[in-house]
Structure 1
Amino acid sequence: MPHKIAILGASGYTGAELVRIIATHPAMEIVGLSGDRKAGMEMAEVFPHLRHLTLPALEKIEDMDFSGVELAFCALPHATSQAVIRDLPRNLKVVDLSADFRLRDPAEYEKWYGKPHAAVELQKEAVYGLTEFYRDEIRAARLVAGTGCNAATGQYAIRPLIEASVIDLDDIILDLKAGVSGAGRSLKENLLHAELSGGTHPYSAGGTHRHLGEFDQEFSKLADRPVRIQFTPHLMPFNRGILATVYVKGDPQAVHKALADRYAAEVFLEVLPFGALPSTRSVAGSNFVHIGVSGDRIAGRAIVVAALDNLAKGSSGQAIQNANLMLGIEETAGLMLAPVFP
């Protein structure tokens, strides 16, 4: 019998991506979909690309019947998510795709998100959802906090280098390009086609981006000392994808070896031959991450480039990978679709 799944916030991009992937999952069945402002509508009305699927209609969360549901994906905005999850049945496994449970320290959450956490006890319970680094904890968890998509991309490029002690921890620069779907589906003036297409711009520069909270938390924990990176994201006029370019001090061959060794057994992490660099088009629509390493004309410096799909491996694909572990399903189930090209 398939595991019964509910998706809260199914009318957003990550909700639709969850539905798309679960549609061919061999061991999951969607039995509930919520969409507060679109309650009563069919998913085919909200997302015509899903009209071939037989799905429950969208409803309000308070009207959902969770009896028999084993796991819920919560694809709601931050601050909303914590209040909803706090009131869900305690026997329900939850994978949260918002930012609400990523940071372990309530003071850090308040610092980066501007308000006190409303479910501190649950915050203590949550496991950070970067699958390849928290696999055992995720397998035993009731509540898993999905990472930020930018945070995941940067960590895949940098974590093994900290673990292997092959770079200078005080000189890490992360320059990141992100597709517009990462900003969500809400109407925003700066995301109008006329204002976005044909150009690009940095945002949250100078250490103000919220995903820095995740980098600070995870890198400092790994190194057992404070690690602060420079990070500037850029909004790009394409729909999907993240490309992270990381500049580090370290021997390029040692950097490449550290990444190749760490990910040798990981199905979804592909380290390219030395000197080859990835593209977002090579991972689009998939749960795969491509990582490349190059030397620099300045001796003792290396360039690491990581590419993933922000809606898949950066969010919904990662969430399903974690849910597979939580439900005792093969970790790769439903996630082996090849990238879409061209």
Structure 2
Amino acid sequence: MPVSVAIAGASGYAGGEVARLVLGHPDLELGALTAHSNAGEPVAAHQPHLAAHPAIADRTFAPTTAAELAGHDVVVLALPHGASGAVAAELEATDPGCIVVDVGADHRLADPQAWRDYYGSEHAGTWTYGMPELLHAGETTAQRQRAELAATRRIAVPGCNVTAVTLGLQPGIAAGLIEVDDVVAVLAVGYSGAGKAPKANLLASEALGSLVPYGVGGTHRHVPEILQNFAVTGAAGARLSFTPVLVPTSRGILATTTARVREGVTEADLRAAWDVYDAEPFVHTLPAGRWPTSGATTGANTALVQLALDARAGRVVVTSALDNLVKGTAGAALQSLNLALGLPETAGLPLTGVSP
């Protein structure tokens, strides 16, 4: 029997991408599709790229209520930050047996004070973190994280920028090759990362031909989540300067992260540490001299990584690329869900992108 998947917030970018991947998954079946302000409107009007699929053609969005979502094997919450907690609590009361996957921010952080500081509301609780490749301190594989996901029914999907920076730097942290008191990350981010809500600064006339920094000076909400991941990998007390920049493309993240290397560390040492990804199906360290591009990951659940030692500066420079809507959001959700359902981790997830 197919596993039924309901999606709350299915009119948005993240919800639409989850729906696209569910429609192509051999073991999943698309259930209720709900929305807030778009309830009652045709799904195809808001997700035209799905309109040709027979499971979408005549459907309209239902209102986002626990009653509409209950009764499914899986519920994916693709809601704005601060909105998932209340819906999740209702589902816990009405349908506690279902698996709930939150692609929003509400259940990612372990520290309630960090949530209050960056989001300004009360913390909804902490769920199992949906990054199967996350390395724990002292480990050279991500077996522990995968075991946690296989045993859970509540999954918090990471932020897209968080995934790019974490996957980029964590091998060096886990291997003890870098100092974490001066980590600098600058990211080029496509506009879909800013969401689908109509805002003046997101209009094409504002965005085309212009690059715009945002969340500058340690204010971006992904900062505490990245530091949380560094601590899991063994770098408690890390200091991070994080600056994302919106660039005029619809999808993609290209993150450049640098950190000081420890005395005597060579590029060969660094490259050996990043070989940890050789066994990963979706994260690839490129051959020396070949640098990632965000376009090479478009539509795929892949992350591409490259590194170099800047010997004069005494720093490792790591560049990582991914599609913010796939590996950064919906793909990570289904990858983690596959583990929770006991399915092959790669089921239904594209390894190849589109070009040009």
2:260 partner amino acid: K
Q: Distance in 2 between matches of 1:228 and 1:300?
A: 17
| TM-score using structure 2 length | 0.91
How far apart are 1:81 and its partner, in Å? Answer: 0.8
1:286 is matched with 300
How far apart are 1:142 and its partner, in Å? Answer: 1.2
Do the aligned partners of residues 265 and 337 (structure 1) sit closer, same or farther apart at CA in structure 2, a change above 3 Å counting?
closer
Q: What percent of counterpart residues are identical?
A: 40
Q: Are 1:276 and 1:294, in contact at CA under 8 Å, matched by a contact in 2?
A: no
2:132 is matched with 131
2:272 is matched with 257
| Partner SS state of residue 305, structure 2 | strand
2:303 partner amino acid: V
Q: Are 1:178 and 1:242, in contact at CA under 8 Å, matched by a contact in 2?
A: yes
Q: Does 1:146 align with 2:146?
A: no
2:323 is matched with 309
| Partner SS state of residue 31, structure 1 | strand
How far apart are 1:43 and its partner, in Å? Answer: 1.4
User: Which residues in structure 2 correspond to 1:1-342 (within 5 Å)?
Assistant: 1-53=1-53, 54-55=55-56, 56-62=59-65, 64-66=67-69, 68-88=71-91, 89-117=95-123, 119=124, 123-124=125-126, 126-133=127-134, 134-223=145-234, 225-250=236-261, 251-260=266-275, 262-296=276-310, 298=312, 300-342=314-356
Consecutive unaligned residues of structure 2, counting only runs of 5 or more, are 135-144
How far apart are 1:86 and its partner, in Å? Answer: 0.8
Do the aligned partners of residues 157 and 129 (structure 1) sit closer, same or farther apart at CA in structure 2, a change above 3 Å counting?
same
Q: Are 2:282 and 2:351, in contact at CA under 8 Å, matched by a contact in 1?
A: no
Q: CA RMSD in A?
A: 1.5
Do the aligned partners of residues 267 and 337 (structure 1) sit closer, same or farther apart at CA in structure 2, a change above 3 Å counting?
closer
Which deviations, in whole Å up to 9, do the C-alpha atoms of 1:147-198 show, x marking residues without a partner?
0100110000111111001112112211111000000000111111111110
1:131 partner amino acid: P
How far apart are 1:253 and its partner, in Å? Answer: 2.7
1:114 partner amino acid: G
Shifted more, 2-11 versus 212-221: the winner is 212-221
Q: Distance in 1 between matches of 2:269 and 2:31?
A: 48
How far apart are 1:336 and its partner, in Å? Answer: 2.7
Q: Are 1:277 and 1:294, in contact at CA under 8 Å, matched by a contact in 2?
A: no
4+ aligned runs moved over 6 Å, structure 1: none
Q: Are 1:161 and 1:258, in contact at CA under 8 Å, matched by a contact in 2?
A: yes
Aligned residues: 336
Q: Distance in 2 between matches of 1:249 and 1:172?
A: 8
Q: Are 1:271 and 1:290, in contact at CA under 8 Å, matched by a contact in 2?
A: yes
Q: Are 1:32 and 1:64, in contact at CA under 8 Å, matched by a contact in 2?
A: no
Q: Are 2:65 and 2:87, in contact at CA under 8 Å, matched by a contact in 1?
A: no
Which deviations, in whole Å up to 9, do the C-alpha atoms of 1:106-160 show, x marking residues without a partner?
111101101122x3xxx14x11111212211111111110101001100001111
